[in-house]
Amino acid sequence: MADDPFALFETWFAEAKASEPNDAEAMALATADAAGRPSVRMVLLKGHDERGFVFYTNLDSRKGAELAVNPHASLLFHWKSLRRQIRIEGPVSGVADGEADAYFASRSRDSRIGAWASDQSRPLQDRSTFEARVEAVRKRFGDGDIPRPPRWSGYRVTPQRIEYWSDRSARLHERRLFERAGAGWTEGLLYP
């Protein structure tokens, strides 16, 4: 039994990357608006360490607007092939500009163009409008560098709670809960 939730995450994540047929880094991200109304969507984990779990998005998207007024989130990894899931809860903060710039530069050219062309989460009259915006961005940057848009960056969820769930027969699942306690963690079990 690991007593370090990050070491356990590394082990489980490596196993998921080896066994999941698609997107082991896919995670459900739950946010809530100022009134507490929740919303959830799938995003991709783009970095993780002892500081937390990182994803990137348009800051003007619905999730960005919700995080601006309620900077707390939950993440859920569900790896069906392993019959495991991990739930993570904690406050959210923006990543440093240099970190966002470095990740943006690592994305494919088409993904960088799409980040400029999309008003993520806003109403779209028709697909051709978006495709025209993509072409306009292609022309704007030509073969040159495509910098990170000012409205695009990353968020880091700093875990306060991490729950590791393992499927067991007869629904007698194993649930291990790590909770932040100062600079360390406490560990316990939950009934299934």
| 148 labelled catalytic | no
In three-state form (DSSP H/G/I as H, E/B as E, the rest C), the secondary structure along 44-80 is ECCEEECCEEEEEEECCCHHHHHHHHCCEEEEEEEEC
- How many other C-beta atoms lie within 10 A of the C-beta of residue 139? 8
Q: Report how far apart the first and last C-alpha atoms of the chain are (Å, whole number).
A: 18
Catalytic member of 171, 175, 176, 180: 171
Give the C-alpha distances (Å, rounded to integers) separating 121 from 57, 76, 82, 90: 11, 21, 33, 24
Nearest to 148 by CA among 30, 62, 59, 43: 59
List active site positions.
Answer: 171
